[in-house]
Structure 1
Amino acid sequence: MRMHDVLSEIERRFIISLANKGRRADGRTLREMRPITIETELIKKAEGSAKVSLGETKVIAGVKAEIGAPFPDEPNKGVITCNAELIPLASPLFEAGPPQEDAIELARVVDRGIRETEMVDMEKLCIIPGEKVWILFIDLYILDDNGNLFDAASYAAVAALLSTRIPKVEVKNGEVKRLDDKELLPIRDLPVSLTFSKIGEHILLDPMLDEERAMECRLTIVTDKEGRVVAVQKSEDGVLSEKDINEALEIAIEKGKEIREKYFMPLLKNRGS
């Protein structure tokens, strides 16, 4: 994502030397996440919203709901589409203008985790089969980038969907009328994304920006509530050994359960309160 913005060799060696000792510049162990905070319902004009801070990395997600046509191959299902904007104020590496490749990749990874876990029961978002369904637009805005946008953006999207309320509808003679009353989305699962950087001989969970700039490659793993791996994304050209992958899978399943129970389950249980 940022391999063109290479650290000096001295800085990279310093990061590797710390990793060799099981340490990192911010005092964490190699398997430790930065602090996570989640706030929901921040954008009043959106159907759902959330702001996530992962250390100093901050992402806000908003969900808008519109009635539209389903995909031809899924006539009985609603639609989710994800978009990410890398705001120049968030990082000197972000540029104004059309979506960058990094933004497109970020949106796709977040979108895939939500789809592959079937987080939302999309069949219940169907209004008139083959004609009218709810389309959920998830917009991700990067407020501050200090590394690991994939996980921060994913958590923001999941939290925003958990807070989303869509209008109830009434169908008469093929016409759809939106009512004033709203209802929560039908939630089936809670995806958790965990991202790792390969640096030297080590796998680091939740990389900071300098660690991403020093990395050889990145691996993002998404698990569902049963601990099953549902999506994997590898970025950059470095090589991951079988040992690296197995270690990352083990951590992703273990930490995924912890994050799901600590952060997402309370949001799910407290919906509508």
Structure 2
Amino acid sequence: MNQEKIISTVKRDYLVDLAEEEKRIDDREMDEYREIDIEKSWAGNAEGSAFVKLGKTQVLTGVKIESGTPYPDKPEEGVLMTNAELTPMAHATFEAGPPGEEATELARVVDRGIRESGMIGLDELCIESEEEVWMVHVDIHVLDHDGNLIDASALSSVAALLSTEPPEDEEEWELPEFPVSKKPITTTFAKIGDALVADPCLEEENIMDARFTMTTLEDESICAMQKGSSGPFTKDDFKKAREWAKVKSKELRKELKRD
């Protein structure tokens, strides 16, 4: 075994022991999120945008709107397309080129939370049935990765959509405003040994056995869920995550309301 693997094993054992003692490497409570900062309308060349800092994780999301062709199975609905970009500048483990598995999963989880919540009134974005609709592009750019990209990206995307204004140079746009209503909040929890932690930092993600994400609405109902990694979640783990999500989603939703 080389020295790097020895250090990795020692660090993992240390973090697992900490978690099972209900302690964390950055001294947070088990259900505590890192400091959050949200700046809406951050980019001037997009219909909507938001910059989010979750601890040292930094994400910028931009929203662009253009006309296009609807999906054949939904000829009278607008189109939501979510993309995530992970570049080597954000973390050494990311590679340049087409989206990899991690970027694809990130985009899908964020997209599912927005779509299943009914946040965007896609039925209002039809210009001409079967011919032309408005397409909403949500582009996630990870600037610095220090864990929990899912929650940071989801929060940035929701904030960007809430700040979205109708496109100024589109003559066909007839709606008085961009149709958004609900505020879905995504919360992620990691299983480390027998312990559960909220908002895992990168060091905790590197040694976690499993990850569980849920997206909830204002009435505390769940609209989307996603499990990551191969480790198991028990029924008690799910119950604890569910209760934490109710509390944490309210806290995160308050952050969205701040100017």
Q: Please give the TM-score of this superposition, normalised by the length of structure 2.
A: 0.93
Q: How does 1:1-273 map to 2 (within 5 A)?
A: 8-167=8-167, 177-178=171-172, 183-260=176-253, 262-266=254-258
CA distance in 1, matches of 2:34, 2:175: 36
RMSD: 2.0
Letter in 2 for 1:103: A
Contact 1:191 1:222 in 2 (8 A): yes
Letter in 1 for 2:157: A
Change in 2 beyond 3 A, CA 1:149/1:8: same
SS in structure 2 of the partner of residue 207 of structure 1: coil
Aligned residues, how many? 255
Contact 1:46 1:64 in 2 (8 A): yes
Bigger drift between 149-158 and 21-30 goes to 21-30
Q: CA deviation at 1:235?
A: 0.8
Contact 1:197 1:219 in 2 (8 A): yes
CA distance in 2, matches of 1:233, 1:7: 31
Q: CA deviation at 1:266?
A: 4.5
SS in structure 1 of the partner of residue 160 of structure 2: helix
Q: For 1:169-218, what per-residue CA distance to the aligned partner results, in whole angstroms no more than 9, with x for missing partners?
A: 9xxxxxx8347x98532122111000011001111100000100000011
Q: Kindly, what percent of the aligned residue pairs are identical? A: 44
Q: For 1:232-257, what per-residue CA distance to the aligned partner results, in whole angstroms no more than 9, with x for missing partners?
A: 10111101111111111111122112
| Structure with greater strand share of residues | 1
Change in 2 beyond 3 A, CA 1:57/1:7: farther
Contact 2:76 2:129 in 1 (8 A): yes
Q: CA deviation at 1:16?
A: 1.4
Unaligned runs of 5+ in 1: 170-175, 268-273
SS in structure 2 of the partner of residue 44 of structure 1: coil
SS in structure 2 of the partner of residue 90 of structure 1: coil
CA distance in 2, matches of 1:75, 1:177: 21
CA distance in 1, matches of 2:6, 2:59: 24
Q: CA deviation at 1:258?
A: 2.3
Change in 2 beyond 3 A, CA 1:246/1:7: farther
Contact 1:6 1:214 in 2 (8 A): no
SS in structure 2 of the partner of residue 88 of structure 1: coil
Change in 2 beyond 3 A, CA 1:33/1:12: same
Unaligned runs of 5+ in 2: none
CA distance in 2, matches of 1:247, 1:158: 25
Change in 2 beyond 3 A, CA 1:264/1:184: farther
Q: CA deviation at 1:38?
A: 0.4
Change in 2 beyond 3 A, CA 1:113/1:16: same
Q: CA deviation at 1:118?
A: 0.5
| Structure-2 residue corresponding to 1:270 | none
SS in structure 2 of the partner of residue 195 of structure 1: strand
Deviation >2 Å, runs of 4+: 176-179, 181-184, 264-267
CA distance in 2, matches of 1:141, 1:43: 12
